[in-house]
Amino acid sequence: MSETPDRSRIGKRLVIGIPMLWLLLFFLIPFAIVLKVSLSEGMIAQPPYGPILEWSEDSWLPAYVGSLFNYEWLLDDPLYITAYLNSIWMALVSTFFCLVIAYPMAYLIARSSPSTRTTLLMMVVLPFWTSSLLRIYALLGLLSPNGYINTVLMWSGLTSAPVQMLQTDFAVYLGIVFTYLPLMVLPLYATLEKLDESLLEASADLGASAVGTFWQVTLPLSGPGIAAGCLLVFIPAVGEYVIPALMGGPDQLMIGKVLYTEFFGNRDWPVASAVAIAMLAFLVIPFMMLRNSSALRGEV
């Protein structure tokens, strides 16, 4: 009888320990390495950065020689600030369009019959079974000057010359929305599917119209799904590199593109690491503060 609590305690520790070990190996240790590189000085060497600790014969303790110079460089150079602001704007607009398109889709799936619901959910998830790069190349084929869309437009007489769709902001927005739309649909569906039907019936019994019921009951209760979907789309969209590189113009400045150029073009690993750490701090810290604030309000 005394072994049952011990086994239960060991089981709980294993359940908690495995994700913590995963977090340690694949987030905290890589984060610590990138943070260390961001504090070092760039060098023409292998690796292309200097140490942040130096040992001397006079002391047992190493001397710290790192600095915040790379972070100060980010603040002084308008290139990085412009890239951050452009990335945030592109991510905000893309998240908004994802929400506008995904909400009616999720609502339709949640209100459909169980058999139809399975089919519709499969259609939402199915694009994830293929590589996102293949999906982007499919979009390139549609939007190119010799693509299907321009062919139909010119055949129908709507245009006399191909419309420039690639290498524009429109193409980048379309690529991000097309890629991340399922990440918005699924959390919205999970929230709307659990919506209590009796609340909608009570609203109708009290005289509310269908539109009034949606604004006063359905939309507020789907808030957690909206928040989860927006986070799932906004966070990866800020650091997106492949879509702006393939579908955007050559002068389009986004932070993912700047990060790639610093790492592989300029081989300035300390500045590139500082860009990555600043981007992570910008995205994670406000959301953690918001989460803690919400938790505190819940406890009160």
Pick the CATH number of 78-293 from 3.40.640.10, 3.30.70.2190, 1.10.3720.10, 3.90.1150.10: 1.10.3720.10
Show the tokens assigned to 92: 């905000």
Assign 105 a pLDDT band (cuts: 50, 70, 90).
very high
Assign 82 a pLDDT band (cuts: 50, 70, 90).
very high
- Could you state, in order of their start, the residue ranges of all structural domains in the chain? 78-293
3-class state of residue 71 by DSSP: helix
Q: Nearest 5°: CA angle at 92, between 167 and 88? A: 75
**pLDDT tens-digit readout, 186-210:** 999 999 998 888 888 888 888 888 8
Residue 252: the pLDDT is 79
pLDDT above 70 covers what percent of the chain? Answer: 95
Show the tokens assigned to 271: 């500045």
**pLDDT tens-digit readout, 54-63:** 888 777 888 8
Does residue 79 register a pLDDT over 70? Answer: yes
Measured distance CA(41)–CA(268) in Å, rounded: 9
Measured distance CA(220)–CA(84) in Å, rounded: 31
Show the tokens assigned to 163: 């419309």
Does residue 281 register a pLDDT over 60? Answer: yes
Please give the mean pLDDT across all residues of the chain.
87
Q: Nearest 5°: CA angle at 24, between 18 and 30? A: 145
3-class state of residue 158 by DSSP: coil
Q: Find residue 161's DSSP bridge partners.
A: none
Residue 72: the pLDDT is 92
Measured distance CA(181)–CA(120) in Å, rounded: 14
Q: What b/e string do you get for 169-191 counting C-beta neighbours within 10 Å, with b at 16 or more? A: bebbbbbbbbbbbbbbbbbbbbb
pLDDT above 90 covers what percent of the chain? Answer: 38
Residue 190: the pLDDT is 93
Residues present in the chain in total: 300
Does residue 45 register a pLDDT over 90? Answer: no
| Alpha-carbon distances, residue 47 vs 43, 199, 263, 267, 274 (angstroms) | 8, 62, 12, 10, 16
**pLDDT tens-digit readout, 124-153:** 888 888 888 888 999 998 999 888 899 999
Assign 269 a pLDDT band (cuts: 50, 70, 90).
very high
